[in-house]
Structure 1
Amino acid sequence: MINLIGTYECKADSKGRVPFSAALKKQLQPFLNDGFVIKRAVFQPCLELYSMQEWNDMMQKVNKLNRFVKKNNDFIRRFTAGVKMVEFDAAGRILIPKDLCDFAGIQKQVVLSSAVNIVEIWDKEKYEKAVDDATVDFADLAEEVMGNTTEDEIS
């Protein structure tokens, strides 16, 4: 499992190519040869970039779902909708397919935000709005999510 660190801003070009900062690309270096998977986020209007290793781990969990249960089948279809494999080019960029750019509203200004083991790819305005909206209740959220755990449960 990887633990990515940092939030980085960049500009997408007209073809949807997004350059990654040297600091983020260095963290992803061990995974460059295997490629990546990019998909729509479940809860936010952004994209998620998984290393192939992280994607395979996720798919092992998804594959345990009983496909003869309709809601499981619906979940799998929606979770994997628009999934694409991507690789870094020689200039350290990934090409985000147009349908995924449209989903996330990515046009020019982009934020690459580490989210533990994946990279979220946001339109800058949408990212700032999501962060601003979340900060209002962040103390309550932090207490609810992390406040009742002991150190043994976290590790």
Structure 2
Amino acid sequence: MTSIVGQYECKADAKGRITLPTSLKNKLMPFMGNDFVIKRSIDQDCLELYPQVKFDEMMAQVMSHPNKGKDFRIWLRKFTAGLKDDVTIDKDSGRMQIPKVLFDHVGLGKAVVLNAAHTVIEIWDKAKYEGMLDSMSDERYDEISEEIFNGGGQPLP
């Protein structure tokens, strides 16, 4: 999968269905007809949508961890809590159903932001997304940008 990036806004209906914007649906066309995985984010109050093939790659990395002790098993349960692995996106309409338990868990409202970040699409309540963006100071953002771009002698974009 090529890197998919961009921020897209859409609406959720009362049944937890969203329709992907056409430009995002078109980027996902190579995966249409296959299942997607939707799960809770590890560290944010949002959901994550992966093409099944990308989620399988991530799970292979998880399962290659050498320590399979009690803490790992608890972590794995938390990592996969609420996971739904047979999510489909309608090829024609671009509509998908978000499971109610996940929809309620992150408190999605009617206004939804889809933040495509490489191989995952984050699904956010719009107000929470905007709050998350505001949570990092401009100074810290600049510091991290310097580390990323100037750490390798690259000029800032």
Q: TM-score, normalised by structure 1?
A: 0.89
Which residue in the other structure is 1:118 paired with?
120
1:6 match: secondary structure: strand
1:36-65, Cα deviation, whole Å (9 max, x unpaired): 000000110000000011101001111113
Contact kept, 8 Å, 1:66 with 1:72, in 2: the verdict is: no
Higher mean displacement: 19-28 or 1-10: 1-10
Which residue in the other structure is 2:106 paired with?
104
Aligned: 1:40 with 2:40? yes
> How much is the aligned-residue C-alpha RMSD, in angstroms?
1.7
**Structure 2: 5+ residue stretches without partners:** none
Report 1:53-72 matches (<5 A): 53-66=53-66, 68-72=68-72
Alignment: residue pair count: 151
Report 1:15-54 matches (<5 A): 15-54=15-54
In the TM superposition, residue 144 of structure 1 has moved relative to its aligned partner by 3.7
In the TM superposition, residue 147 of structure 1 has moved relative to its aligned partner by 4.0
In the TM superposition, residue 148 of structure 1 has moved relative to its aligned partner by 2.7
Aligned: 1:138 with 2:141? yes
1:82 match: secondary structure: coil
Query: Which runs of at least 4 in structure 1 moved beyond 3 Å after TM superposition?
Result: 144-147
Instruction: State the distance in 2 between where 1:99 and 1:147 align.
Output: 43
In the TM superposition, residue 114 of structure 1 has moved relative to its aligned partner by 0.8
Contact kept, 8 Å, 1:67 with 1:73, in 2: the verdict is: no
Instruction: State the distance in 1 between where 2:2 and 2:105 align.
Output: 26
The change in CA–CA distance for 1:68 and 1:52 in structure 2 (over 3 A counts) is closer
The change in CA–CA distance for 1:146 and 1:77 in structure 2 (over 3 A counts) is farther
Contact kept, 8 Å, 1:110 with 1:122, in 2: the verdict is: yes
Larger helix fraction of residues: 1
